[in-house]
Amino acid sequence: MRDARRHRGDAHARSREAPHPDPRGRPPRRLLVSTPRQFDSLERVTLPAGPVHLAIGMFDGVHLGHQSVIEAAVHSARRARGFAGVLTFWPHPSAVLRAAQPTPLILSRTMKRELLGRLGLDFVVEHPFSLEFAATTAREFVALLKRAFPGLEAVYVGENFRFGRGREGDTATLIAAAREAGFAVYSAPRLNHNGAPISSSRIRDLIAAGEIEQANALLGYSYFSVGTVEPGKRLGRTLGFPTLNFTWQPALAPRYGVYAVMVSGPDAERLPGVANYGLRPTVEIRAPVPHLEVHVLAPTRLTYGDRATVQWLRFLRPEKRFSGVDELRAQIEIDRQMALETLGKISAQEPPKSA
């Protein structure tokens, strides 16, 4: 990554192609750092004296582009023997500025915190986004940063970064204000994948369309859901394919259908599975909400009340209504074989960890 100070005025860095993820799912190298300190607003930040390197953004998905911005802050902070941090916001601005149609998020608040906590950061600030904060001008925002971080040495953003009232500020605005305030700005070059920019909105579209493999390539890890195993109607067991039923109601719903997945529980053992996400039209009439159920393709000790993670690897087919349980049973066996074949060829990619 480029040093922020040496690229103080680089607001329009060239785009570059994202590296292909390791096909065997090996995580990047790691820094030996502890869990980052969490602050719930800029006003509550308390850090020891020292240089601060700060990445700013919503970071929904913590995808490869986000990781490159944060990685730059972490590496520069280590060289400067300073502190690496992230400033992000909650709720998403759309939930405040257009509450009737908020952006469906890739990650829940908890999942986002978990992923940020893996990246070698010293601290994370989750500042509340409100109408009052939305009225902050670009100049006022920079002043707020300096008050919160007296040792601010460099800020790291994406090249399309906007800030301040009505999105009035961009990277050029930030660079000019930073020059006066005495800190540097790193504008991260855009990452591309297959000739198109990596973005949270693109990943949302891919997940909603069931294009999980493409979404995973942009995320840099396997899209995952976390839920609690709950009692179901035992319909799968009567068909000869017992399933784990999960409480999981995401803001961003994947396409209804059948997926090849990996499942891990409290013991962290990862097991192959075939998942159905949808309304189960063959066995349930007018289901009020979609269900996530997983038939695990290996012996498992998972039971009711366990928290488990489901990593989504490939979309196998759309959900459909069958003529009866015999046809459904035959299709489940086909799905099972397809999942086993798929999982023999591709591996789950673990969420990012610091280099």
pLDDT in tens, 90-127: 999 999 999 999 999 999 999 999 999 999 999 999 99
Distance CA 274, CA 236 (A): 12
| Residue 280: predicted pLDDT | 84
137 pLDDT above the threshold of 80: yes
Helix ranges restricted to H, the chain: 64-80, 93-97, 109-116, 131-134, 138-148, 171-181, 200-208, 212-219, 235-238, 325-343
Which has more pLDDT, 144 or 284?
144
Distance CA 64, CA 70 (A): 10
Distance CA 91, CA 266 (A): 29
354 pLDDT above the threshold of 70: no
Query: How large is the average pLDDT for residues 154-182?
Result: 97
3-state secondary structure of 125: strand
184 pLDDT above the threshold of 70: yes
On average, the pLDDT of the chain sits at 89
User: Which domains are seen in the chain, by residue range?
Assistant: 5-197 (3.40.50.620), 222-343 (2.40.30.30)
With tokens 């949270």, the residue in question is 200
Both structure tokens of 240: 């000869």
Nearest alpha carbon to residue 139 among 99, 103, 87, 179: 179
Distances (CA, A) of 184 to 54, 134, 236: 10, 24, 58
Instruction: Quick: pLDDT tens for 20-51.
Output: 433 333 333 333 346 999 999 999 999 999 99
144 pLDDT above the threshold of 60: yes
| Residue 48: predicted pLDDT | 95
346 pLDDT above the threshold of 60: yes
Distances (CA, A) of 132 to 97, 129, 213, 279: 11, 8, 40, 41
323 pLDDT above the threshold of 80: yes
Confidence of residue 247 (pLDDT cuts 50, 70, 90): confident
